[in-house]
Amino acid sequence: MLPASQPLTVAVPLDEHQVEPLRKLLGAINAGIAQGEAPVPLPGDAPDRLLQLDEMPHTHFTRFVVLDDRIRDAEGNLVLRPPADRQPPVLLWEVNHDGTLVEYLAALIADPDRRVGLDAIFSHARGWKGTELTAFHDFCVRHRVRAEAFYTGYRGEPRVRTVNDRKVREAIRRYVDERVDELNALPPVEARRLIYEHLRDEHPDLDLTRTEDPTPIYRARWAVTVGASIVLSPLLLATFGPLGLATRLHEKFFDHDEPWRADRPVHHQRHDQNEDKILQNQLTHVVDIKPGWFRFWLLRIVFLVIEGQARTKYNEGHLGDVRSIHFARWVILRDKRPGVRRRDRRHRLVFFSNYDFSWESYLGEFIDRASGGLTGVWSNTRGFPKTKWLIFDGAEDEEAFKQWARSCQRDSELWWSGYPDSTVSNVRDDLFVRRYLTGPAPDGGLQEWFRRL
């Protein structure tokens, strides 16, 4: 099976005159998704061709964002920065996919209609040479931006399996509903055997193959990490003690940007009208990193910690007890403008998230359960609420944090979900039910299996 849950972020420079035509094109496609009309006819030169988003192979989530260099004015409106301080616009393509990059791109362009759609989008970007595989791959590699930290609620699970497991669980529930009295009278092991035999005989299209539960491996990795941290604690203290003091000095004396104050409504109609269309939502957040080498490298150290925890500790459907995130990543867009002095460069931090339920509940979960992690990242960026010792205060100022988050939020011109009717809990329960349909019972016994069914 293809390697699963791979992050890809492509940041392609745009010419100013291409910004609005590209937004119009992506908006037309996105409008069709929002209305449940996929495939969507493309405007422009290919009115009779289709993007075939509903059949996008090996794709969990994807989005396109046309990012120009804007800032909030005193009334809270996004306005372009003055030309002398403006970074060129870019097209951001963010995707969570299965397979290597070559395998994934080959699957995308295998459909001729989708190839036309991709060409219609990327032809607005600089250096585009078409959808021939080698050219497409080289284009993506040239403009790829590394994820500083990447999290998924079901690491290593390919989309084909999540789709299959949803069908397995639905077929089981239909069968159980039809024969509930008979099954209730049987021992759990016998009831599960009958369910399996029904699916095997009546639904040969479903994959019932048992896969190993990686949880013990993840827990072992976390135990090794904790043990190594204890052994190396003198070295870590010698390293992070001075780093903490340096951070506090920067907070008190060297950070000159004004922290955000709660002085305007949290919600903006422009964002609200694009949210809560399905069970899931998405967030694109863009903010300048505080100037100077210290904040830039401190931020990267924080990401090393987050990435390590995402790989070893947070592999059971939650990130710091936040259980609504499907995929999330942070990337840094470096300011590469020629002729700009190093100290005047404005590197930007971009956060992409695909999550369940409302924006309000999502931010509330983060504040209640992971405010230290939030603050550890974004205290290194401009305008974040006042922070102490890198991880304290900051996001705990709920109103200021939410308003700051909205102020830095950007619209995604196109966003697509590969399973729009599933929450993180749904996906993990589907996986659990199929995994333990046969063989030894899970922790908690078969009663836990029936409960999650």
The stretch 211-230 carries a mean pLDDT of 83
pLDDT at 233 over 80: no
What confidence tier does 46 reach under pLDDT thresholds 50, 70, 90? very low
What confidence tier does 35 reach under pLDDT thresholds 50, 70, 90? low
What confidence tier does 3 reach under pLDDT thresholds 50, 70, 90? confident
pLDDT at 287: 96
pLDDT at 28: 85
For 394-422, the DSSP string reads GGGSHHHHHHHHHHTEE--SEEEESSTT-
What confidence tier does 47 reach under pLDDT thresholds 50, 70, 90? very low
Quick one: tokens of 113?
Answer: 């209609």
Quick one: tokens of 413?
Answer: 């011109």
The stretch 431-441 carries a mean pLDDT of 94
Mean pLDDT of all residues in the chain?
Answer: 88
pLDDT at 37 over 50: no
What confidence tier does 38 reach under pLDDT thresholds 50, 70, 90? very low
The stretch 321-348 carries a mean pLDDT of 93
| Exposure of 273 in the CB half-sphere (CA atoms within 13 A) | 5
The stretch 306-330 carries a mean pLDDT of 91
pLDDT at 39: 46
- Which range, of 48-52, 210-214, 295-299, averages the lowest pLDDT? 48-52
Q: Identify whether the C-beta of residue 88 lies closer than 8 Å to the C-beta of residue 122.
A: no
- Which range, of 46-55, 156-165, 351-360, averages the lowest pLDDT? 46-55
Distance between first and last Cα of the chain: 26
**Of 98 and 4, which is predicted with more confidence?**
98
CA 410 – CA 241 distance, rounded (Å): 36
CA 383 – CA 370 distance, rounded (Å): 20
Tell me: the pLDDT tens digits for 254-264?
Answer: 887 777 665 66
Rounded alpha-carbon distances, angstroms, from residue 237 to 290, 302, 305, 307, 373: 25, 16, 15, 20, 19
pLDDT at 255: 83
The stretch 89-114 carries a mean pLDDT of 95
- Residue 331 CB: number of other CB atoms within 10 A? 22
What confidence tier does 236 reach under pLDDT thresholds 50, 70, 90? low
CA 314 – CA 325 distance, rounded (Å): 11
What confidence tier does 48 reach under pLDDT thresholds 50, 70, 90? very low
**Of 266 and 286, which is predicted with more confidence?**
286
pLDDT at 437 over 80: yes
**This prediction's pTM:** 0.93
**Of 193 and 113, which is predicted with more confidence?**
193
Proportion of the chain above pLDDT 90, given as a percent: 64
Closest by Cα among 147, 57, 214 to 353: 147
What confidence tier does 124 reach under pLDDT thresholds 50, 70, 90? very high
- Residue 2 CB: number of other CB atoms within 10 A? 16
pLDDT at 301: 94
User: 14: helix, coil or strand?
Assistant: strand
The stretch 394-401 carries a mean pLDDT of 91
Tell me: the pLDDT tens digits for 170-208?
Answer: 999 999 999 999 999 999 999 999 999 999 999 999 999
CA 64 – CA 312 distance, rounded (Å): 30
Q: Identify whether the C-beta of residue 358 lies closer than 8 Å to the C-beta of residue 276.
A: yes
Q: At what angle do helices 101-109 and 112-122 cross, to 10 degrees?
A: 110
Residue partners of 262: CB distance under 8 A and separation at least 6: 397, 399, 400, 403
Proportion of the chain above pLDDT 70, given as a percent: 90
